[in-house]
Amino acid sequence: MTIKETALLAADILEDRKAQDVAVLEVIDLTVLADYFIIATGTSTTHVGALADEIEFQFKERGIAAHHIEGHRAGGWVLMDYKDVIVHVFTKEAREFYSLERLWSDADRVERATKE
């Protein structure tokens, strides 16, 4: 699985679990931190935790291990570091406050095929 495929898989998992406003940003030319940022919003702190749990579970099933996970699943932001792919799951308020899309506005947004 390529790095881009991993990023798109994360986005698909989040959308399948009803995350809102899922964005895939290609940051490879902007930072050494990662190649892709996935940003998504959960409807509540419980939903944020469930989204993060689902990413962790499905990635582990595919042999993709997290390098580091930060944030309390009952809080407003969970950061999941898979080395080349970093997944950010926020509550709406936390996403607005941290405004990562504005911070990384030079990043290319990866367009994804819509599911039928």
Task: List domains and CATH numbers for the chain.
Answer: 3-105 (3.30.460.10)
pLDDT for 30 equals: 94
CA distances from 71 to 9, 90, 100 (A): 21, 10, 16
State the Cα–Cα distance between residues 41 and 28, nearest whole angstrom. 23
Crossing angle between the packed helical segments 45-61 and 3-16, to the nearest 10 degrees: 140
pLDDT for 73 equals: 60
pLDDT for 115 equals: 56
- Residue by residue, pLDDT tens for the chain (116 residues) are 899 999 999 999 999 999 999 999 999 999 999 999 999 999 999 999 999 999 999 999 999 999 999 986 667 999 999 999 999 999 999 999 999 999 998 998 998 876 54
* Residue that is written with structure tokens 């050494």 in the block: 32
Please give the single-letter amino acid code of residue 24.
V
pTM: 0.91
CA atoms 42, 47, 51, 56: torsion sign: positive
